[in-house]
Amino acid sequence: MDRFLLKVLLSLLLVLLAAFSFFIVSGLVDTSALSSYLVSSIDDKTTTVMKLTSASAAVSAGVSAIPGDTATPIAEKLADLTGYFLIILSVLYTEKALVGLFGAAVFKVLVPIACGLGILGVLFWRRGGVLAKNLALFALALTITIPASLLIADGVYGSYSSRLGETISSSEALSEQTAPLAEADKDASVISGFLSRISETATSLSEKAADLLNRYVESVAILVVTSCVLPILGIIFILWILKILFGVDVLARVPAARDEKRNDGGPCAKDTSAPEKSAPDVSGRNLPKKR
């Protein structure tokens, strides 16, 4: 009777824990200051990427109008950067969706399911307790790794955000210089008159365009590292730390429950080996006497 009462109390406790996680903790996580900060940081990165995309498209049109053979390949490379910026934007929107769905996924789905499996494990299904433990550890790992990895990436991004701003400023300045060249529609007299007015040559403008291309390549590298690489590496590193410190291997396969109990003073397993045959009695004691 006492054992049954203990099972009932544990089951009620797990029900209360699931309700508390679903109705209270999930709401607190969604409206927390950390969640708002992460969303704001991702929005800032998204705005920067959009500015870089539009600036690279605008400056590539002006660079292509610079006389000479060196400007056209630079303009094509600047136009090709749009594809990289599109990939980075997709990753940023994915991260924003993860932050928005984080509270619902962990505290409205994983924790209640783990509590339900724990109830089954307490009452009659022993493997349910093992599954509940692993699912709870997985929810704990998500709770730690996703915000921590994004915070690490945001810290690194803050160190290089000024370089991205310089790239945008340089791109806008070069666009203003080369805009009349694009409007001249390759009229040699108009182009030469414009270059003489701004005291620039086609070679110097091409050098500025090449320097701007290097800045854009650096900006793409910074965004790829801070938006794609560092969050993934942060998650892997924190999972590894959890495994080292607490022995928590989230990705480990759940061991199958054994069908039979271990031999702890209980009944021994049956011996299925064939019984040994007794040796024949060759002593002659059972042989009939000779007459």
**Model confidence over 126-161: pLDDT tens digits?**
888 888 888 888 888 888 888 888 898 898 998 898
Q: Is 144 left (phi over 0), alpha (psi -120 to 50) or beta?
A: alpha
Is pLDDT larger for residue 254 or for residue 15? 15
Residue type, 205: L
Q: Is the pLDDT of residue 96 over 50?
A: yes
Per-residue model confidence as pLDDT tens digits over 102-128: 878 889 999 999 999 999 988 888 888
Per-residue model confidence as pLDDT tens digits over 216-229: 999 999 999 998 89
Q: How far apart are CA 28 and CA 105, in angstroms?
A: 14
Domain ranges, ordered by start, for the chain: 36-100+127-246
Taken as a whole, the chain contains a residue count of 291
How many Cβ atoms sit within 10 Å of the Cβ of residue 123? 14
Which residue in 201, 168, 179 sits closest to 51, CA to CA?
168
Q: Is the pLDDT of residue 255 over 90?
A: no
Which residue in 222, 237, 278 sits closest to 149, CA to CA?
237
Which residue in 82, 199, 99 sits closest to 145, CA to CA?
99
Q: What is the pLDDT of residue 69?
A: 76
Q: How far apart are CA 88 and CA 93, in angstroms?
A: 9
Q: What is the pLDDT of residue 282?
A: 46
Tell me the CA end-to-end span of the chain in Å, nearest whole number.
76
